[in-house]
Amino acid sequence: MKSGIVRQTPGEELAYLLEIHGNGNYSKVFDVVIKQFDVLQSRAQLLLGLVTICLTITGFSGPKIAASSMFSRICIVYGLCFVLAAAVLVLMGPLQLRWGTGRCAGTIHDSLVHLLERRNERTRKYHWASALLVLGLSGYVGSVIGYLLQV
C-alpha cells in the first residue's frame, strides 16, 4: 500500500473536514470552505494587478519597444495576447461573483460537496491564468531584451 499524501475527491475532502471539525459541524466546515474562496480571490486579484502593470507598461513603453525591431514587436504582441488571456481567465474564473449560499444541492452535505467542486474548478482556472501570465511575461522580457540588444 502506498503511503503519503493522497489527492481527495470533494466528497472525500468533506468527510475529512467533518472528521477534523467534528461530525455534523457543517457550520465550521462551511466557514473553512468560504475562507478558501477568499484566499483564491485575493490571489486572483494579485494576478489581475500584475496584468494591469503589464498593460500600463505596454501603453507607455510598448510603442517604442515595438519600433526597435521585428523580434521585439513579435515578442510584445505575443506577451500582450497571453497577458490578456490570463486576465479574461481570471475574470471568468476565480473572480466570478457567486454567493456560497446561492445554490442548494438538496442537503447541506451535497451543497458543501458542490462548493468544493466549484472551488476546485476556480483553482484550476487560477493555475491556468498563472501559466498564461508567465508566458505573457516571457514575451515582455523577450521584447525588452530585443530592444536592449536591437535584435
**pLDDT per position as a tens digit, 51-80:** 999 999 888 988 999 999 999 999 999 999
Distance between CA atoms of 73 and 14, rounded to whole angstroms? 50
User: Which helix or strand (DSSP H or E) is residue 41 part of?
Assistant: helix 26-68
Distance between CA atoms of 19 and 16, rounded to whole angstroms? 5
Under the banding of pLDDT at 50, 70 and 90, the label for residue 151 is low
Which residues have C-beta within 8 Å of that of residue 93, sequence separation ≥ 6?
Answer: 44, 121, 122, 124, 125, 126, 128, 129
pTM of the model: 0.87
Chain-centroid distance of CA 110 in Å reads: 25
pLDDT score for 2: 61
pLDDT in tens, 9-50: 999 999 999 999 988 889 999 999 999 999 999 999 999 999
Q: How many CB atoms lie within 10 A of CB 45?
A: 13
Nearest C-alpha neighbor of 96 from the set 119, 65, 128, 113: 119
Residues 55-76 as b or e (16 or more Cβ within 10 Å = b)? eeebeeebeebbebbebbbebb
